[in-house]
Structure 1
Amino acid sequence: MPSHHLPLLLTAYQYRFRRDLEAMSRHLIDDVSIGWDELGTDLLDGAPHALVTALTGAEQWPSLPLDHLMTPAGTNPPARMTITDTTADTQGMQWGYVLHRQGIEVIPLPQDDRGPIVDWSTNPLTAFNDHPGAWSSLTPTPVVRAACGSATPSAPASPPANTDASHAGARR
């Protein structure tokens, strides 16, 4: 859900990976075999203690590998698969996240083919709406309440161009 994943991803980008999208992408997608359902507080390494406490209630949990997966054909270990409307629907995926240079695109699956982009500079303490119907590429980022002292989250009015070098992750 965006209210859980976006604060972790925004904080990881801003602090642990020091705004290095390639390093963050390698960690989330290539280097570590984690599922985005299993994102942990290790992504918050390097963030201010007050921010980590506000996001987690001072609890800690690791990102967990997905070593118990099977492919739709029943083989193990699973190979990477392309997420499409069909695979998202049959695998029970509810959200897609695409990492772009300008921010994180949040796509409710399988409703839309594009979603709004949450700017990387958005305050991680922003409360995001978890209702899939609120996430449309035609509307601003759905915020329940903006974080105190933060800039208003921004989203482009149109979907990103397909020429943008982006990295995708999906979540159930």
Structure 2
Amino acid sequence: MSTGSCIARPTETGYTGIYVHFDGYPSGRLPLLLAAYQHRFAHDVEAMSVHLIDQVAIAWDELGTDLLDGAPKSLVKRLTGGQRWPSREMDDIITSDGSPPERVVITEVNSSSLSWGYVLHPAGIEVISLYAADRGPIVDWNTDPRTRFSDSPYLWLPGHPVPASRPPRTRPAPAAPAPASPATRSAAHR
């Protein structure tokens, strides 16, 4: 089942972006976008916007783990369970009159049929629950991608805190014993 969303950049009046067909919930979309920004796009929101919004012909069918290129393997495994799949553009669109399909541009005016909007601001990702509000809170770009985000549309409201819980703590690796000093090693061999 699809959860339609859009990835967009801010404009003077709202936002403009591109449609994404599958997996639009914050619990899946935000970790992928945060990790992509922090690793693949090296903190360059414009390069990320160009890739996600400008370089797609019509719309995205789904965003894949290729957006995690450059991320640590442990993070990729945590976010995807170790699975890999490519981002896919929509290429199976058939128009009623047989004409070639046109690019789907999403703005604040025509987004009412979507569930979620993700606007890529310089400070972070504005998450808009299109069921509940026309704007939403901004998730800072430095947020840990392992953070657990709520999928409840009525919690993503402007002026409210981001509905998320901290990522699970990772246990530090056990400390290795210190190597023996040369004096200790020679005393042990006597």
| TM-score band w.r.t. shorter chain | 0.7 to 0.9
Equivalent residue, structure 2, for 1:60: 84
- Evaluate the alpha carbon distance shift between residue 123 and residue 114 of structure 1 in structure 2; reply closer, same or farther with a 3 A threshold: same
Query: Aligned partners of 2:64, 2:157: CA distance in 1, in Å?
Result: 27
Residue 116 (structure 1) aligned with residue 140 (structure 2): no
1:96 to 117, 131, 138: 117
- Residue identity over aligned pairs, in percent, reads 53
Structure 1 partner of 2:173:
none
Name the CA shift for 1:71/1:5 in 2 (closer, same or farther; >3 Å).
Answer: farther
Q: How many residues align?
A: 146
SS at match of 1:88: coil
- Mapped to 2, the partners of 1:26 and 1:58 lie a distance apart of 27
Note the aligned Cα RMSD (angstroms).
2.3
Q: Which amino acid aligns with 2:128?
A: I
Q: How does 1:12-31 map onto structure 2 within 5 Å?
A: 12-31=36-55
Q: Using the alignment, how far apart are the partners of 1:111 and 1:68 within structure 2?
A: 31
CA 1:81 to 1:31, structure 2 compared with 1: closer, same or farther past 3 Å?
closer
Q: Contact (CA 8 Å) 2:108, 2:134: kept in 1 or not?
A: no
Residues 34 and 64, structure 1, Cα contact 8 Å, conserved in 2 = no
Give the corresponding residue for 1:3: 27
More helix per residue: 1 or 2? 1
Are residues 72 and 120 of structure 1, via their aligned partners in 2, closer, same or farther at CA, if it must alter by over 3 Å? farther
State the 1:71 CA deviation: 6.9
> Which runs of no fewer than 5 residues in structure 2 stay unpaired?
1-24, 171-190
Segments of 4+ moved more than 2 angstroms: 32-37, 68-76, 79-85
Counterpart residue identity of residue 7, structure 1: P
Larger-gyration structure (1/2): 2
Deviation for aligned residue 1:66: 1.2
